[in-house]
Structure 1
Amino acid sequence: MSSNFDSNKEVKIVTADPSGLGLFGLAMVTLVASSQKLGFTSGVSLVLPWAVFLGAIAQLIASNYDAKKNNTFGMTAFGAYGLFWLGVACTWLIQNGVFGEGLASAMDVKQLGVAYVGYLIFTLFMTIGAAGTNKVLFYIFVLIDFLFLGLSLSTLGIMPEFFHEVAAIAELLIAILSFYGSAASVLNTHYGEVVLPVGGCLGKFKLDAKLKKAHS
């Protein structure tokens, strides 16, 4: 005699694509931060809220939802960059004496440069992963490579003025492309058709059908 308990049921949980939110967070924080690097604004006091809430929290939320979609690349990218902006915000607080003059006076800025080198390494191999998604995301990662290259070398004292300018320009371009990527993600999904094209994969870097489903 069969029992209802003998049958297996599969429950599918549909999760919205968090790319629009994650890219918007990236766009906002890089736009505000680049205004300071380019000299349009000064200080970091009013960059801090955008670093924490948009750069960090928005991207960490996107990372969490990408994890639920089994999207390892998206989860890692949004998670790592979200945590990066938390680290940057904390660094600014230390530099401005919020945690005491002892920490502020004992800091060695080259340690920050080493952290940027670490993120440059991370971004380089993530750029290879971005090549398998779409052209807009790939170009964003290429610009992030230049951002961390500029931040690393300028902070370590290697041609600081030149590489600071490289970082500033790259950061502004990241903001512009990320706004576009966010708009494309939201509008293309909302209307179920290509409103803003993002381009396909680059060359041989193509995702298989299972991974494409996770990214959709």
Structure 2
Amino acid sequence: MASLSPSSLEKEANGTTTTTTSAPNHGMLRHHHHHHHQDFSQMAAGAFAEADGGTLNPGVWKPYEHRKLANPAPLGLCAFALTTFVLSAINMHARGVSEPNVVVPLAFGYGGLVQLLAGMWEMACGNTFGATALSSYGGFWISYGILLTPSWGITAPTGPYQGHVASPLAFFLTGWFIFTTLLLLCTLRSTVMFFFLFFTLDLAFLFLATEQYALDMGNKAAGLALQKTGGFFGFLAAFLAWYNALAGIQDSSNSFFQVPVFHFPWSDKGRERRGLKSDRAQA
């Protein structure tokens, strides 16, 4: 995040923000007068948090200071990651497993309920993006669990679609592809790992939706290839979710190192770092 004058905010790896006070550097102000320094200097003197995947924040935001809550993002990310990991392994037909029944308890319990709760806690923290993403994907897993539950009979041969569920499932997955694309657009000024989490997830939904369209047209070979490709990108999304969760959990008190999050050069933090390098070069 760009420096606040006269306060400068430093982001720790666990998602917390510490504030240090220093006198304004007039050289820095001259160098950045066309950038974000002066815009942020007009904000209130409270603590602002920067974009970070570990807190599921795509941009600069101000958390509710009167609430004493832990960071719920790692919990939601881990719930999403584990459930996605298992389903993606099945979609890739790992070790010959192709039936997704084992995903049902995870979809209801961990990826569904726990992730939904994490989204509600993000709302209490004042993080709109995190609340929207975690709550929505929690709803995705619950609805997916319902689709796989035989007692509901939605995809059964005797169900409402008489076994012809490819196109309805394609519509279901296409909707989630569109939703994920909207979230992806909100991560373009955040961090590399945060962006690629939603990028790979978006591709996973795209390929899995296309798989169902191919099956509806009777092309089973193409459907299998698309399913495995979607599983591969879902696999990547799962590990990226775990990576971002680790970035939100780690700090100097529990780890000997912190995983890097790689801020985009055009992000607020990236511009700040470029400005510091330029100031050091001029000194």
* TM-score normalised per structure 2: 0.62
Question: C-alpha separation between the residues in 1 aligned to 2:78 and 2:206?
Answer: 23
- The one-letter code sitting in structure 2 at the alignment partner of 1:33 is L
- Deviation digits for residues 72-97 of structure 1, max 9, x if unmatched? 1100100111101111111111xxx3
Distance 1:65 1:193 in 2: 29
Q: Match for residue 198 of structure 1?
A: 261
Q: Partners of 2:91 and 2:141 in 1: how far apart?
A: 16
Deviation at 1:130, TM superposition (A): 2.1
Where does residue 174 of structure 1 map in the other structure?
Answer: 237
Matched, 1:123 2:186: no
> Counterparts of 1:133 and 1:204 in 2: how far apart (Å)?
6
1:21 aligns with 2:49: no
Tell me if 1:153 matches 2:210: yes
Q: 1:134-193, CA deviations, whole angstroms, 9 ceiling, x for partnerless residues?
A: 221211000011101111100111732332122010011111111211111111386599
1:46 matched to which residue of 2?
Answer: 102
What residue in structure 1 maps to residue 43 of structure 2?
none
Which among 118, 121, 138 is matched to residue 195 of structure 2?
138
Structure 1 residues 113 and 190 mapped into 2: Cα distance closer, same or farther (>3 Å)? Answer: farther
User: Match of 2:152?
Assistant: 99
What residue ranges of structure 2 are gaps of 5+ in the alignment? 1-63, 216-221, 270-283
Higher mean alpha-carbon deviation, 10-19 vs 179-188, is at 10-19
Identity of aligned residues (%): 24
The aligned length equals 194
RMSD value over aligned CA atoms? 2.5
Match runs of 1:21-100 below 5 Å: 21-40=75-94, 41-93=97-149, 97-100=150-153
Separation (CA, whole Å) in 2 of partners of 1:164 and 1:29 = 17
Q: Which has the higher helix share?
A: 1
CA distance in 2, matches of 1:201, 1:150: 27
User: Unaligned 5+ residue runs, structure 1?
Assistant: 1-9, 207-216
